[in-house]
């Protein structure tokens, strides 16, 4: 039978007929978008979907991904009960702890589960064996069980989604190869195929292994690497009368299991992974005829996994093997999905599923459909947004190194502070060599080498120190640097902070629209503000300095640099009438922060400019010289102390640092790292984007209502007006734990009167207060004085909601008017 004619136009073209593409199409149709065409180079599921193991585990370390997976299970249940079942087996899932450290992780995950109403609970090794009788418990110290986990047939799922999409008018064109993508005025306008062209407004790249290749057709870099992932299926050895088995994961031994009819399916994540087709000097080159195919079996590389599997499930060494599956899966450099709109307007991507795409497919489809039809997703997916990847990922070598490391560490315990090693060092401050000579302990963020602390500052422990996970990557130098800054002054290298210039005749009008605060003030004024989405959620959090009538400088965090830059450019594209240019000047400019009660004295000793309160007020910027270096100083702080951030062209960076250091030594200046900054900002109550602030939290909820200027128009204003009229339901609150030896890591549930009412956003030790601090969104009636409990690794620890800021509540130190 000849294929149906290819439509000449559609509003949305989805490229890829795997589980991702069909989920996007299904949910687009569910949300009312009927003018959709799906094209696939071969048959549906002929990419990586057909060889997926099909496990669906819901609980992850990330709240958004957990919610996405929970929705997936709800969808799979509904599909299973419908006209097109998906082979869903809600078998339950067991996660084993084969080490005390893993048991700690399990207990931490159990505490997360409380905030999602997931019935994850700890079970004994004996109960694990009762539910999965084939297991050998040697070395097992504990386990967790989630009854709603399961598995399904990925191909059946894809065809069920396709049937639902077709029923709602979606056109599915198989054996249709994309040969090009055209643009009009920079926006996607046509998809070219070997069967004809399709004019369109939106393209969604769900091409899986071929996603990076499709991206290159429109000049977009999608940093994914196909990785060979293997699993095997045994011959049948169980009877139909045997009870069904739950899924089983033993991450300490790198293996997973599930029932496969009357046998077992077993796979894992080996320590010597094999990237496929990508090299350090070339992008992926998946063969054009690689459809519905597998790679050759690689038994030598599977030996470690096979040995671990036999150790944990001895029958694996006795039963026959029906087949080995070696199929490439698209992995990203951080094991997170690649979702969202790219730098080319109208060109979206949903790829890089990292072997857990079946669990997330339902949630991916729903969020991507929202993104396309409503302009933004309903959940905070900034850490999955493709815009998070900086320009360094244009390098095939850097992408490959980071992705191979991510695969190798797939089952590793994500200890806070644990550093990645691949692709380092890459981005370095002009003062990098000075830091290294003076004992810096570096941590990497967005490719930057940043000082966490200096080992040379470590001394005897004085006061509280973290225990457990929080103390694993910790040094007494952190407390020393914190206290020295509070007592004298600290010098910090913030060159990694993103610097974004917004210029042009329309720059002021544009920034007034994207910022909730009034940023179009006098030249030299510095304004702290948020940028909101349509729901009033905080998309970005930064300072804006007016440099000239049509020139502004945005300074934002290292980790949010790529996201904020892409988001601003996207808003500028949507406001096409504005005369505005947005440029990243991060690498061209160094930035050093000098903070503390003696900071004015130190800086004054090397500049002729008057640094007094009247001559140089708080939240202003001025051009000056520091020694022989031309610079701009901004009187801002992220630690709650008097001080300045000092900016200069990067070629002056080494000299500027040495000038400040030499000037400060007679005063007792200490060089410090980001861990000291973090502890001081917690004491002062300054919010951190990505934890305390997200696209799902409003300024009012975050206690930042003072930034909101409702007397002007701005993106998200209508949502804030409605939220204000309805009244707040929750508020970010500060908590002091009763026992300072307990330190939160983030995401711990918080309960009041035995009821879980919130989740920790951030926290840590405050060394001036000698207290363990936490922040959490709690009901508005949980006011200061409210007694709370926090679940830390299965132990409920007491605490009290307190008024903030805890440190210098009058703000006299910041303004230079107090001690």
Residues taking part in catalysis: 229, 256, 541
d(CA 77, CA 65): 18
* Other beta carbons within 10 Å of 752: 17
d(CA 565, CA 576): 17
Contact status, residue 447 vs residue 426, Cβ threshold 8 Å: yes
- Cα three-residue angle 96-116-85, rounded to 5 degrees: 80
Closest to 134 measured CA to CA, from 248, 33, 252, 58: 248
3-class SS of residue 764:
strand
Strands 755-766 and 629-634: unpaired
Per the rule left: phi > 0, alpha: psi between -120 and 50, beta: everything else, 668 is: left
What secondary structure letter does DSSP report for 295? P
Contact status, residue 562 vs residue 607, Cβ threshold 8 Å: no
Q: Strand locations in 418-537, DSSP E?
A: 440-445, 448-454, 490-493, 498-503, 526-532
CB under 8 Å to 800, separation ≥6 — which residues? 735, 736, 738, 784, 785, 786, 787, 788
Tokens of 385: 């947004």
Measured CA distances, 133 to 126, 128, 228, 263 (Å): 10, 8, 31, 14
3-class SS of residue 390:
coil
Mark 137-162 as b/e (b = at least 16 C-beta within 10 Å). Answer: eeebbbbbbbebbbbbbbbbbbbbbb
Measured CA distances, 614 to 321, 610, 611, 667 (Å): 80, 9, 8, 24
Q: Measured in whole angstroms, how far is the alpha carbon of residue 651 from the centre of its chain?
A: 32
d(CA 123, CA 427): 46
Contact status, residue 525 vs residue 635, Cβ threshold 8 Å: no
Closest to 238 measured CA to CA, from 268, 264, 202: 264
- Cα three-residue angle 295-297-300, rounded to 5 degrees: 130
Q: Strand locations in 677-754, DSSP E?
A: 730-737, 749-752
Residues in the chain: 819
* Other beta carbons within 10 Å of 286: 21
Cis amide linkage into residue 510, ω under 30° from 0: no
Query: Where do we find the tokens 């720059």?
Result: 507
**What are the start-end ranges of the H helices in 409-475?**
432-437
CB under 8 Å to 617, separation ≥6 — which residues? 635
Cis amide linkage into residue 232, ω under 30° from 0: no
3-class SS of residue 321:
strand
Contact status, residue 708 vs residue 520, Cβ threshold 8 Å: no
Query: Where do we find the tokens 């103390």?
Result: 471
CB under 8 Å to 696, separation ≥6 — which residues? 379, 380, 535, 537
State the angle between helix axes of 63-80 and 357-374 in degrees (0 to 180), rounded to the nearest 10.
100
**What are the start-end ranges of the H helices in 19-138?**
19-30, 63-80, 100-114, 125-131
- Cα three-residue angle 347-348-352, rounded to 5 degrees: 135
């Amino acid at each position: 039978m000849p294929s149906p004619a290819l439509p000449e136009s559609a509003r949305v073209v989805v490229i890829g007929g795997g589980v991702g593409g069909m989920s996007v199409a299904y949910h687009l149709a569910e949300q009312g978008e009927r003018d959709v065409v799906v094209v696939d180079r071969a048959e549906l599921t002929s990419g990586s979907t057909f060889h997926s193991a099909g496990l669906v585990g819901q609980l992850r370390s990330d709240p958004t991904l957990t919610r996405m997976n929970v929705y997936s299970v709800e969808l799979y249940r509904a599909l299973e009960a419908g006209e097109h079942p998906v082979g869903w087996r809600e078998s339950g899932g067991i996660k084993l702890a084969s080490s005390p450290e893993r048991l700690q992780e399990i207990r931490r995950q159990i505490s997360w589960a409380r905030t999602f109403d997931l019935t994850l609970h700890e079970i004994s090794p004996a109960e694990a064996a009762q539910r999965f009788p084939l297991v050998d418990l040697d070395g097992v110290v504990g386990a967790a069980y989630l009854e709603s986990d399961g598995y399904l047939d990925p191909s059946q799922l894809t065809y069920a989604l396709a049937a639902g999409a077709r029923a709602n008018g979606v056109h599915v064109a198989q054996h249709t190869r994309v040969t090009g993508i055209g643009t009009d005025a920079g926006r996607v306008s046509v998809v070219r195929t070997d069967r004809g062209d399709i004019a369109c407004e939106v393209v969604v790249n769900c091409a899986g292994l071929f996603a990076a290749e499709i991206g290159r057709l429109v000049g977009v870099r999608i940093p994914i690497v196909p990785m060979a992932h293997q699993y095997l299926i045994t011959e049948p050895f169980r009877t139909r009368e045997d009870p069904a088995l739950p899924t089983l994961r033993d991450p300490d031994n790198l293996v997973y299991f599930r029932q496969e009819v009357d046998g077992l399916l077993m796979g894992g994540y080996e320590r010597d992974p094999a990237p496929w087709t990508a090299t350090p000097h070339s992008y992926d080159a998946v063969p054009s005829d690689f459809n519905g195919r597998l790679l050759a079996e690689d038994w030598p590389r599977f030996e470690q996994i096979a040995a671990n599997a036999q150790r944990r499930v001895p029958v694996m060494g006795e039963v026959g093997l029906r087949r080995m599956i070696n199929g490439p899966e698209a992995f990203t450099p951080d094991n997170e999905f690649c979702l969202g709109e790219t730098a080319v307007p109208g060109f979206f991507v949903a790829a890089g599923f990292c072997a857990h795409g079946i669990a997330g497919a339902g949630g991916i489809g729903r969020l991507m459909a929202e993104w396309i039809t409503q302009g933004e997703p309903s959940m905070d997916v900034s850490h999955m947004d493709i815009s998070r990847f900086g320009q360094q990922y244009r390098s095939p070598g850097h992408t490959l190194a980071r992705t191979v490391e991510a695969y190798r560490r797939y089952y590793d315990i994500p200890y806070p502070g644990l550093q990645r090693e691949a692709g380092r060092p890459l981005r370095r401050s002009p003062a990098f060599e000075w830091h290294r000579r003076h004992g810096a302990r570096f941590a990497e963020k967005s490719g930057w080498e940043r000082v966490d602390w200096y080992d040379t500052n470590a001394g005897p422990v004085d006061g509280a120190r973290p225990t457990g996970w929080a103390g694993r990557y910790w040094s007494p130098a952190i407390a020393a640097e914190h206290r020295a800054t509070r007592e004298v002054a600290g010098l910090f290298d913030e060159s990694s902070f993103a610097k974004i210039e917004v210029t042009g005749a329309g720059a002021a009008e544009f920034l007034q629209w994207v910022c909730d605060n009034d940023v179009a003030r006098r030249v030299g004024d510095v304004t702290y503000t948020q940028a909101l989405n349509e729901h009033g959620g905080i998309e970005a959090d930064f300072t804006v300095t007016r440099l000239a009538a049509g020139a502004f400088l945005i300074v934002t965090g290292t980790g949010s640099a790529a996201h904020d830059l892409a988001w601003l450019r996207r808003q500028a594209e949507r406001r096409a009438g504005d005369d505005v240019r947005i440029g990243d000047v991060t690498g061209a400019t160094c930035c050093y922060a000098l903070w503390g009660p003696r900071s004015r004295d130190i800086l004054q000793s090397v500049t002729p400019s008057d640094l007094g309160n009247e001559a140089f007020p708080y939240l202003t910027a001025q051009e000056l010289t520091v020694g022989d270096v031309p610079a701009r100083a901004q009187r801002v702080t992220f630690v709650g102390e008097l001080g300045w951030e000092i900016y200069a062209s990067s070629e002056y960076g080494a000299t500027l640092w040495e000038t400040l250091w030499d000037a400060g030594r007679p005063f007792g200046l200490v060089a410090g790292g980001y861990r000291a900054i973090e502890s001081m900002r917690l004491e002062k109550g300054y919010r951190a984007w990505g934890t305390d602030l997200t696209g799902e939290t409003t300024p009012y909820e975050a206690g930042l209502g003072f930034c909101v200027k409702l007397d002007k128009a701005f993106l998200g204003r209508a949502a804030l007006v409605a939220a204000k009229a309805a009244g707040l339901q929750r508020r970010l609150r500060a908590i002091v734990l009763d026992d300072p030896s307990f330190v939160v890591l983030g995401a711990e549930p918080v309960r009041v009167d035995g009821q879980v009412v919130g989740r920790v956003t951030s926290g840590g030790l405050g060394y001036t207060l000698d207290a363990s601090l936490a922040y959490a969104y709690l009901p508005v009636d949980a006011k200061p004085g409210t007694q709370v409990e926090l679940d830390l690794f299965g132990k409920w620890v007491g605490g009290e909601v307190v008024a903030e800021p805890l440190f210098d509540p009058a703000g006299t130190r910041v303004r230079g008017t107090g001690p």
